[in-house]
Every structure is written in C-alpha cells, then in structure tokens.
Structure 1
Amino acid sequence: MDKFRTLEIFIAVAETEGFAAGARKCRLSAPVATKAISELEASLGVRLLNRTTRQVSLTDAGQRYLVDARRIVEELKEADASVIGLHAKPIGTLSVTAPALFGRLFVTPVMVAYLKQYPQMKATLLFQDRIVNLAEEGIDLAVRIGHLADSSLNAIPLGHVKRVVVGSPDYLRRHGTPKQPKDLQHHQLIAAVQMNPVQDWRFGNIDNRVSVRLEPALMTTTNDAAIEAAVLGFGLTRVLSYQVANEIEQGRLKVCLSKFEPDPLPVQIVHREGRTSTAKTRAFIDLARAMLSTSLAKL
C-alpha cells in the first residue's frame, strides 16, 4: 500500500476513533485498515494509537504525526485538484449541516440559489440541533453558531446573532416589562432545550457580567415550543435573535432587557479543507457570505 493511502487511513482512524469507522470512511475492511496502521507504526518504530476494546486514541507521538499527515494529504490533494481542474468548476455533491431552524430560514435559500447557479451540482442538507462531526459523517461544510471548540476547523465569519429575552405584548401588559435581570425572578419563564429545573441566565459582557438563577414555569425540548408559548402570552423566554425575528417584526413578541444582552454570538461556516478549498465549497462559501451578511446584520 502506498504511503499516501496509508496516511489517509491513519487520519480516518484517528478522527473517527475506531478502526471500523475509519475503514468505512476509506471504503476498506477493518482488517486492511488495522494492518496498514500496524505497518506504518512498524516502519516508524513508534506507536501512534492506543487501542482498547471500545475506542482508539492518539498517543503523544500520534497527535504530532496527525498534524503533519493532514498537512501532507491536503497539499497533495490540492496539487491534484489544480492539475485536473477541480478548482475551476464546481462538480459533484455538496453536503452542508446547520442548526435546524437556522438551516431552514437561512441555509436553504443559499443552497437553492447555489444549485440554480450550478445545475451540474447535487446537494444534501443535514439540519439538526447538535454538533455534527464533519469527518465522521462525511460533511463538507457546517454552519456553527457560537465560539468554536475545535481549532482544527477552518472558519469563515458570516455575521452575529444575539441572545434575547422576549414576551408577548399581552403578557407584558399584564405583568409589566422587566427593567433589569433580577426582575425576571418575578415573572413566568419558559426555558428551551435544557431540561434543568434551575437555570442560570447570564447577562452583560465580559466586563460587566450578571447571572440570575431562575426556575422556569415551563420547560420544553424545542425552541419552537418555547417561542409559541411566549407568543400565546404564557411568559418570557430567551432564544437567539434569528429564531424570533419574524415574531418581533410582526409585533407578536417584544424584546426585553436589550441593554443587558450578552456579547453577540458569531455565526461561522466551517470546513476541514486546506488553504485552497475545492471549487464546490468555495463557491458555496462565497454565495453564503454575500447572501447572509446583510440578513444577519438586521437581527
């Protein structure tokens, strides 16, 4: 087996933390992947992976080797792509993941425009409210909201969204509008996603942070349900600005405590490709930046 293919197998096994999953990604059998890694370790005279019955993890040497292996593989792919013209015209299938509601409202219009512009392309959209592992699930691009924990990803900023407290005009008329965060303790609250009977809502920026411990009257696993309950006048909820932009514009919800809002959260599109991305990803990123920068600036 050539060294380039061996490096691809090593990267896949390291990223998926398993020989079976890494082998599937490389379209090989697990025994072939296991043999390739064993031969690589033997040639180097060092163990790259720790093996257990449940999981594979990198040794210190393996972590250093993974960084260099990724760089080498990406540079070779970029060289090949330049020669065969992949950077000139988008071809193939593009897969993009994003949070469910953000994906429906913002990513879908971008993808429709993209496919109209490049009719030879095909696409897959995966909208889920969880962090999708790009390597393990074979995804090209991801839209992420918030600060990135994985520094190995290449991130392109698209804009920002805010965390806002909202209530219906009817609720605010009956119960009054909170003037500062501590006033929330006297209101009916609706909490989404985190099924914890006691929650801390943080306000202010890093230089002037305020935390209020609250007990929601209603907890729900979806933001949609929390927003609907707020629209119906049950209480106040806290969500991201894009999630209630339509309700605010239509006057069905009003923002409270705006001067205490935390610092905005970045919206970024991320990928794992090297310095020179393929035409299909680069074209989508350029289109997303053009379409979303204006939309997000209004939120």
Structure 2
Amino acid sequence: MDRLLTLEMFVAVASEGGFAAAARKLGSSPPAVTRGIAALEARLGTVLFHRSTRAVALTDAGAAFLEQARRILADLAGAERELRGAAAEPRGQLYVTAPVMFGRLHVLPVVGALMAEHRELMVRMMLIDRNVRIVEEGIDVAVRIGALADSGLKAVRIGWVRQMLVASPAYLARRGAPQTIAELAGHDLIGTMGPRAAGEWQLASARWRLDPRPRLVLNTVDGALAAAEAGLGIANLLSYQLADALAAGRLIALLSGEKPPAFPVHLLFESSRAGLPAVRSFVEAMKGRARVAGLG
C-alpha cells in the first residue's frame, strides 16, 4: 500500500480516535484503513495502536511517531503549496497566535494592513498568554517572547523587550520607593500567571525570590497593569506593556540600575510554511513593525 496514504491513515486514526471515524474523514472504508495501519505497522516493525472493541489508543511508539508523521505530511503539503504559488498574492487563511497585549498593540495593526492590501486574505488570531502547540493546533505563525525551546521550528527574531519594575505615584507616596533589591521584601508585589509566572524575578545583579509570595496574582497582563496603576503594589512587566503608562506618568520605573537581560521576540513557524505568500508577507510586515516600534 502507498506509504503516504498509510501515513495519512495513521494520523487520521490518531486524530479521530478510531478507524471508522478516520475512514469517514478520508472518504475511505474502515477495512481499508485497518489494512493500511497493519501495513504501516508491518513496515515499521512495531505496534502503533492498542486496539479494543471500545477504543483505540496510541502505544508509546505510536505517540512518538505521530509528531514525525504530522511533520512529514505538513512538509509535503507546504512544498506543494509553495510550488503552486511561490510568488502568488497572499490569500486563504492565515492562523496567527500571540500574547494578548503584544497581539493587540503590534500584531493587529499588521494584520489589518495586510487584509486591506490583500482582499482574498483571511486571518484567525488567537491572543492568549500561554504557549500553544503550533503543529498540533495548526498555527501558521506564533509570536513568542523569551527563550525558545529546541523544537525544530524555524525562528525569526524581530526584536527585544525587557522587564521593568513599576509602581504608581500613589503607591510610592504611601509606601516609599525601594532603593535596593532587598527592600522589595517589605512591599506589596503583584504577580502574573502564564509563561513568565515564577517564584522569582530575574534582575540584573541577582535572581530575587518572591518571598513572601505576591499579595495579588492576576491571569492577564491588562489586569496586572491596572492593579499597578491603581496603587495595589509593585509589578514586574515588559517594556512594551508599560510604554503608555510610563509616558503618561501613571506608573514610575523603579530600581533603574537593575536592568534584567532583554527577552527576544521571535516569530515561530514550520519550515514548510516559510514559502507561503501569506506567511512570508506577515513575517516581513512584523519585522517592519518591530523597527518602527523600537523593538529591534
């Protein structure tokens, strides 16, 4: 049986959770899918699924092989798309994910400009303060802030941001401004959830452990920013998140000598998608946005 077809069957069974459902998705029959999986297992010399009368589940070997199979199929699909229209105008659907505030401030303007220029381009944006699984969730391009894991994805760095400690004038008038890292222990701290949530803050001269723990923890950057502006404590946020509040005087930067290492801002995508007109246009537009916004 055709090797590519058996890979498609394998991914479909894993995704749909059964042979019958996979057959419906592929427009095939359950016996044909069963034969295809058997042929694949025979060729690989290993069992890919645990089978019972009620359910089908991946074996350890099957789970390990699934990501590779998905990548092979994605690479092939990307190569076909690139060959059909390497120089074509961006069209179809582009699926992008980014942190909430960064997406609102910097990605949405880029998306708006691209959609105005390319009438056949459609965009889905997932703005969320967590790292989503790019391959599994079908993401075309993801914005990531911070160190990257070794994922095998293509990464294009477009800029840098840095952490800043801030508080409102009202809070500082009431509690005073810390002059050293050690003095933070006597202040009310505002923490956040998500990728940057941690039990310590990385400052220039030391890692400062948040002990006692923050009095207030919020699950969104908007919430932490609002809490800091309301005078509820000292927050540790990123420079792009604070630009407007600092310029307007609603927040004041603290411990200015303690400048932590900057965080890189990357665009992540599968290498097979690099040649797609929509992805290529988005990446170039985001590079330009980063330069204009002073992130480069």
Fold shared, TM-score > 0.5 on shorter chain: yes
The amino acid across from 1:121 in the alignment is L
The amino acid across from 2:232 in the alignment is F
Q: Secondary structure at the match of 1:214?
A: coil
Residue 150 (structure 1) shift:
5.1
Does residue 201 in structure 1 map to residue 203 in structure 2? no
Q: Which position in structure 2 is the counterpart of 1:134?
A: 134
- Structure 1 unaligned residues grouped into runs of 5+: none
Q: Which position in structure 2 is the counterpart of 1:90?
A: 90
Matching of residues 34-183 of structure 1 within 5 Å: 36-42=36-42, 44-47=43-46, 49=48, 51=50, 56=58, 58-59=60-61, 63=64, 67=68, 73=73, 76-149=76-149, 151-183=151-183
Residues 123, 64 of structure 1: alpha-carbon distance in 2 compared, 3 angstrom cutoff = closer
Between the aligned partners of 1:163 and 1:233, the Cα distance in structure 2 is: 19
Q: Percent identity?
A: 35
Residue 80 (structure 1) shift:
2.7
TM-score (norm 2): 0.81
Residue range with higher mean Cα deviation, 30-39 or 248-257: 30-39
The amino acid across from 2:85 in the alignment is G
Between the aligned partners of 1:221 and 1:79, the Cα distance in structure 2 is: 40
The 8 Å contact of residues 74 and 273 in structure 1, kept in 2 or not, is answered as no
Residue 74 (structure 1) shift:
5.4
Residues 34, 216 of structure 1: alpha-carbon distance in 2 compared, 3 angstrom cutoff = farther
Between the aligned partners of 1:63 and 1:180, the Cα distance in structure 2 is: 49
What is the Cα-based RMSD across aligned positions, in Å? 3.4
- Structure 2 unaligned residues grouped into runs of 5+: none
The amino acid across from 1:211 in the alignment is W
Between the aligned partners of 2:165 and 2:57, the Cα distance in structure 1 is: 42
Q: Secondary structure at the match of 1:102?
A: helix
Residue range with higher mean Cα deviation, 99-108 or 168-177: 168-177
Deviation string, structure 1 residues 177-214 (Cα, Å, up to 9, x no partner): 212211111112222227xxxx7332335xx5332323
Does residue 272 in structure 1 map to residue 274 in structure 2? no
Following TM superposition, where does structure 1 have runs of at least 4 consecutive aligned residues deviating by more than 6 angstroms?
A: none
Residue 251 (structure 1) shift:
1.0
The amino acid across from 2:249 in the alignment is G
Between the aligned partners of 2:93 and 2:170, the Cα distance in structure 1 is: 48
Does residue 3 in structure 1 map to residue 3 in structure 2? yes
Q: Secondary structure at the match of 1:97?
A: strand
Between the aligned partners of 1:123 and 1:292, the Cα distance in structure 2 is: 20
Residues 108, 79 of structure 1: alpha-carbon distance in 2 compared, 3 angstrom cutoff = closer
Residue 112 (structure 1) shift:
0.3
The amino acid across from 1:241 in the alignment is S
Pick one of 189, 207, 210 that aligns with 1:210: 207
Q: Secondary structure at the match of 2:272?
A: coil
Residues 128, 12 of structure 1: alpha-carbon distance in 2 compared, 3 angstrom cutoff = farther
TM-score (norm 1): 0.80
Residue 116 (structure 1) shift:
1.3
Between the aligned partners of 1:161 and 1:173, the Cα distance in structure 2 is: 28
Q: Secondary structure at the match of 1:261?
A: coil
The amino acid across from 2:135 in the alignment is A
